[in-house]
């Protein structure tokens, strides 16, 4: 898959990456920046919500299981205020039932850990295209 996006304004796409595992949040941030976008990181849902509300983000990529506030609650809060911002969820307890729950919670994409880098790159671009944020 060609993961190089044609962006309307690459430097205007700022992605909030959220995971309580340092190595994963760093990897996800590198993936996002490798696509030419900007990223900021948070380590739980509460920190993410504070950053989201105080910042300017075009996408959120979030873990589900995190301390203080989980990714499902974070998604609800993000979508309540900003339904125009896509959310991709990444979860470690993958099963079909969890996937169903996530889809019903307005998530725009869903990946199970461990994920292939090409797969998340493809999903990020597909979701951004769906929201007309990149070509």
Site residues for Mg ion per CB under 5 A: 20, 63, 65-66
Q: Residue 18 CB, nearest distance to Mg ion (Å)? A: 9
Residue 9: how many other CB atoms lie within 10 Å:
9
Q: Residue 43 CB, nearest distance to Mg ion (Å)? A: 9
Contact 36, 10 (CB under 8 A): yes
Q: Residue 19 CB, nearest distance to Mg ion (Å)? A: 6
Q: Residue 50 CB, nearest distance to Mg ion (Å)? A: 18
Contact 74, 45 (CB under 8 A): yes
- Buried b / exposed e along 14-32 (16+ C-beta atoms within 10 A): ebbbbbbeeebbebbbebb
For Mg ion, give the closer residue by CB, 66 or 128. Answer: 66
* Helices of type H across the chain: 22-34, 45-54, 71-81, 96-104, 117-130
């Amino acid at each position: 898959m060609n993961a190089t996006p044609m962006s309307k304004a690459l430097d205007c796409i700022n992605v909030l990456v959220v995971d309580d595992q340092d190595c994963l949040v760093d990897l996800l941030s590198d993936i996002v920046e490798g696509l030419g976008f900007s990223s900021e990181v948070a380590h739980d849902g509460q920190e993410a919500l504070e950053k989201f509300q105080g910042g300017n983000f075009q996408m959120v990529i979030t873990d589900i299981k995190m301390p203080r506030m989980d990714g499902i609650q974070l998604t609800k809060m993000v979508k309540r205020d900003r339904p125009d911002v896509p959310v991709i969820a990444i979860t470690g307890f993958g099963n079909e039932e969890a996937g169903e729950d996530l889809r019903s919670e307005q998530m725009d994409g869903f990946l199970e850990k461990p994920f292939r880098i090409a797969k998340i790159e493809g999903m990020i671009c597909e979701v951004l295209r769906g929201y007309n944020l990149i070509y």
